[in-house]
C-alpha cells in the first residue's frame, strides 16, 4: 500500500518536474536562439562520436577473429587499447583540444572510459560467438 502511494506521488512529482523543466527550457531558448544553435552544434558532435564508437568494433569484427586465433591476452589488450585511442582521437577531433575547462575534460574522460567498457563488452560478445561456432 505504502509502495503504491509512493509510486503514485513520485510519478506526479516527476511529471511536474519534467513539465516545468521543459517549459523553462523552451522559454529560455525562445529568448536566446543563439544558445540553441550552440547546443545543436555540440549535440551534432556528440551524436557523431557516439555513432563512431558504436560502429567501430562491429565494423572491425575480423580483428576479433584474429585475436581469437592468436590466443593471447596481450593482443586482446592491445586491440582494446587501440579502439579506445581511436575513439579518443575522434572525440578530440570533433571537440577540439583547446579552450575547454575542467568540466569538459572530465566529461571527455568519462566518455573515453564508457567507450572502453562498450568496446570490451562488444569484443567479448563477438569472441564468444566466434568460439561457439
Q: If you compute the radius of gyration of the chain from its CA atoms, what whole number of angstroms results?
A: 21
Interacting residues of 99 by C-beta distance below 8 A, sequence separation 6+: none
Domain boundaries, the chain: 1-31, 40-132
| 6 pLDDT tier (thresholds 50, 70, 90) | confident
pLDDT digits (tens, 9 = 90+) for 78-99: 999 999 999 999 988 888 766 6
Asked whether residue 53 carries a pLDDT value surpassing 90, the answer given is yes
| 21 pLDDT tier (thresholds 50, 70, 90) | very high
For the ranges 21-35, 45-59, 73-87, 93-107, the lowest mean pLDDT is seen at 93-107
Mean per-residue pLDDT over the chain, rounded: 88
CB 91 within 8 A of CB 112: yes
Residues of the chain with pLDDT > 90: what percent?
41
CB 87 within 8 A of CB 52: yes
Alpha helices (H) along the chain: 2-31, 33-59, 61-70, 73-95, 102-132
Q: Greater confidence, 71 or 14?
A: 14
| Residue-level pLDDT at 98 | 66
| Residue-level pLDDT at 119 | 93
C-alpha cell at 52: 563512431
Amino acid at each position: 500500500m505504502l509502495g503504491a502511494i509512493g509510486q503514485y506521488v513520485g510519478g506526479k512529482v516527476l511529471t511536474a518536474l519534467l513539465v516545468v523543466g521543459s517549459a523553462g527550457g523552451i522559454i529560455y531558448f525562445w529568448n536566446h536562439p543563439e544558445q540553441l544553435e550552440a547546443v545543436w552544434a555540440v549535440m551534432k558532435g556528440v551524436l557523431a562520436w557516439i555513432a563512431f564508437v558504436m560502429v567501430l568494433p562491429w565494423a572491425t569484427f575480423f580483428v576479433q577473429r584474429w585475436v581469437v586465433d592468436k590466443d593471447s591476452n596481450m593482443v586482446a589488450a592491445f586491440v582494446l587499447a587501440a579502439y579506445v585511442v581511436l575513439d579518443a582521437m575522434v572525440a578530440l577531433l570533433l571537440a577540439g583540444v583547446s579552450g575547454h575547462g575542467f568540466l569538459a575534460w572530465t566529461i571527455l574522460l568519462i566518455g573515453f572510459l564508457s567507450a572502453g567498457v562498450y568496446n570490451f563488452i562488444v569484443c567479448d560478445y563477438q569472441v564468444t560467438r566466434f568460439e561457439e561456432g
